[in-house]
Amino acid sequence: MKGKVIMVQGTASNVGKSILVTALCRIFKNDGFKVAPFKSQNMSLNSFVTPDGGEIGRAQAVQAEAAGIFPTVDMNPILLKPEANSRSQVVVRGRPTKSTGAVAYYKLKSELWPVVTQALDTLRAEYDIVVIEGAGSPAEVNLSKDEIVNMRVARYCQSPVLLVGDIDRGGVFASLLGTLALLNPEDLALVKALVVNKFRGDASLFEPGIKFLEEKSGLPVAGVIPYFKDIAIAQEDSVALEHAGSNPKTFKIDIAVIRLPHISNFDDFDPLAKENGIRVRYVQSNKELGQPDLIILPGSKTTVADLDWLRESGLANGIAALHQKGVFIIGVCGGFQMMGRFIDDPEQVESTVLRRPGLGLLPITTAFLPTKETHQIKGEVVSCRGLLAKTKGITFDGYEIHMGRTECDEEGTAFHLSERSGKPCDIADGYLDESGRVLGTYVHGLFRDEKLRRAILRQIAQSKGLRLTFKEDKREDEYDKLADLVRNSLDMKLIYKIAELSKNSNEQ
């Protein structure tokens, strides 16, 4: 029998759909159900690699983790990765297919709809319930004819819909009621409840608002979810960078992450921001850059365009000046490529420029290739100086997503990869310069390894004559914290009724 479905749609982007889906996945898991997330089409520069090497949106990987399952390409069959010049790379079932503009993509949607339905059907055949996430708003009337991510998905599987509004941004009454007013009768009938998200203060003060929404909409308000900052769940929308990082009143190490126009996988640096005594800032100018202890050049979907931006903004010169002063620098993926002498593009994968000078921070050269490398990896530290002093032999997990091959001297190799996509390998990764102060790597998720992360931070602190003391991490599971918060904020009896699930039995 096909698994049940419930869908979370929102009045706009960044109202909290992904987080609510994550919470529901953990709640259903904790209640004994086999649950999976699904988002037919995701536009994001934060992506993840499935065990079989497919690329999906980071949010669906997080939701799968909350559900206690391995992520698969069925959970996000279409991923759009924005590039320069208003184009996006189209990733279908984990593999890049083409780069296209908006108009051409809309013409492509009719071909992609069967991909969406097949993926959803596959998940429903395997799981008790599938929690579906929409995108943007279902009330974008100019796009509704060709959309394949909101109400068309709900109609296909007759999914009940929870409509979420963000009270923190203001106008929650207008956004919720206005969205409902713009839906056609067939779609409106699928909306079963409203959710108010990101409420600050005493929720009892919002009771008149709940009564107003229910009277005007004819729908129940399933709950009011409070605004929170103390639960660490990876974010995928770049809007989250407006409040990203950490700003403790006192800190020993100041880290500046360059906020590139096409920054990708910025959740790589969340573990750094959580450490005691560490400040992480996202910067876009030399004025914001200041005098950090560590500069991080993050991943980028469009390396050459972001390299040009570094020069145009003056940040390239600012980084070079700080490099001369001995500031530590780490580059990840696209940031690693930018740090070299040259970036070659003989097949014009990214641009028509065949060779572009890099920042010259490392003696490496990168050549773009039309084939994207997407792998989960296992690796080991093989260098033992500078940033990596006292880390030799530490093993770690991570993942690769890149379309380039980097040539460098073996003497500077930082890491050794022993496994790629579940298969043994013998591959050198990354480069550490002679000073030990400049490190580059293709590995995403490197800082999630506590031993490696803290060893690097200790070396930076030692260079300042400081000592770092780290708190023992005794935090409860972040997904359980989120699930408890949402469970206590929503009428879960109503949610179960809407989803047609029996909490007392897993029999469908």
| CATH code of the domain covering residue 201 | 3.40.50.300
Instruction: Give the number of other Cβ atoms within 10 Å of residue 471's Cβ.
Output: 10
271 and 353 housed in the same domain: yes
We report the CATH number of the domain holding residue 362 as 3.40.50.880
443 and 334 housed in the same domain: yes
Nearest CA among 251, 465, 440 for reference residue 328: 440
Domain assignment present for 423? yes
Relative to beta strand 41-43, strand 78-82 is parallel
d(CA 433, CA 409): 10
**Residue 191 in 3-state DSSP?**
strand
Write the CA distances from 458 to 50, 364, 466, integer angstroms. Answer: 32, 27, 8
| Rg, C-alpha atoms of the chain | 23
35 and 178 housed in the same domain: yes
At a CB cut-off of 8 Å and minimum separation 6, what does 216 contact?
177
Q: Residue 22: what pLDDT? A: 96
Strand partners of residue 263 = 300
Identify the burial level of 212 via C-beta atoms within 10 angstroms of its C-beta, where 0-12 means exposed, 13-18 middle and 19 or more buried: middle
Write the CA distances from 463 to 3, 96, 171, 313, 436, integer angstroms. Answer: 56, 43, 50, 29, 12
Strand (E) or helix (H) holding 144: none
Which DSSP letter does residue 475 get? Answer: P
Domain assignment present for 99? no
Domain assignment present for 86? no
Q: Residue 70: what pLDDT? A: 95
Strand (E) or helix (H) holding 402: strand 395-407
Can 333 be counted among the known catalytic residues? yes
446 and 350 housed in the same domain: yes
440 and 378 housed in the same domain: yes
185 and 274 housed in the same domain: no
448 and 340 housed in the same domain: yes
**Tokens matching residue 124:** 């429903």
**Tokens matching residue 218:** 């004819």
355 and 215 housed in the same domain: no
Domain assignment present for 299? yes
Can 444 be counted among the known catalytic residues? yes
Domain assignment present for 240? no
396 and 487 housed in the same domain: no
Domain assignment present for 315? yes
**Position 428, amino acid:** A
**Tokens matching residue 184:** 């056609």
Cβ atoms 76, 94 nearer than 8 A:
no
Domain assignment present for 159? yes
What pTM was computed for the model? 0.84
**Residue 39 in 3-state DSSP?**
coil
**Residue 10 in 3-state DSSP?**
strand
d(CA 219, CA 216): 8
Total of domains in the chain: 2
Q: Which residues of 117-154 are buried (b: 16+ CB within 10 A; e: fewer)?
A: bebbbbbbeebbbbbbbbbbbbbeeeebeebbbbbbbb
18 and 141 housed in the same domain: yes
Q: Residue 508: what pLDDT? A: 39
> Given CA atoms 479, 484, 486, 490 in this order, what sign does their dihedral have?
positive
**Tokens matching residue 179:** 């969205």
441 and 414 housed in the same domain: yes
Q: Residue 245: what pLDDT? A: 61
Q: Give the pLDDT of the chain (508 residues) as one tens digit per residue.
A: 588 999 999 999 999 999 999 999 999 999 999 999 999 999 988 889 999 899 999 999 999 999 999 999 999 999 998 887 778 888 999 998 888 887 888 788 888 999 999 999 999 999 999 999 999 999 988 877 889 999 999 999 999 999 999 999 889 999 999 999 999 999 999 999 999 999 998 888 899 999 999 999 999 999 999 998 888 787 655 555 555 566 777 899 999 999 999 998 988 999 999 898 999 999 999 999 999 999 999 999 889 999 999 999 999 999 999 999 999 999 999 999 999 999 998 888 777 888 999 999 999 999 988 888 899 999 999 998 999 998 989 999 999 988 888 888 778 899 999 999 889 999 999 999 999 999 999 999 999 999 999 999 999 999 999 988 887 765 558 999 999 999 999 999 999 999 999 866 554 3
d(CA 31, CA 27): 6
Q: Tell me which residue range forms the domain holding 436.
A: 253-463
d(CA 252, CA 463): 11
Nearest CA among 89, 84, 7, 3 for reference residue 42: 89
297 and 385 housed in the same domain: yes
Nearest CA among 43, 45, 50, 37 for reference residue 399: 50
Selecting among 262, 333, 375, 402, the annotated active-site residue is 333
d(CA 92, CA 81): 11
Question: Can you list the positions of beta strands (E) in 151-238?
Answer: 161-166, 191-199, 221-226
Q: Residue 86: what pLDDT? A: 78
Domain assignment present for 241? no
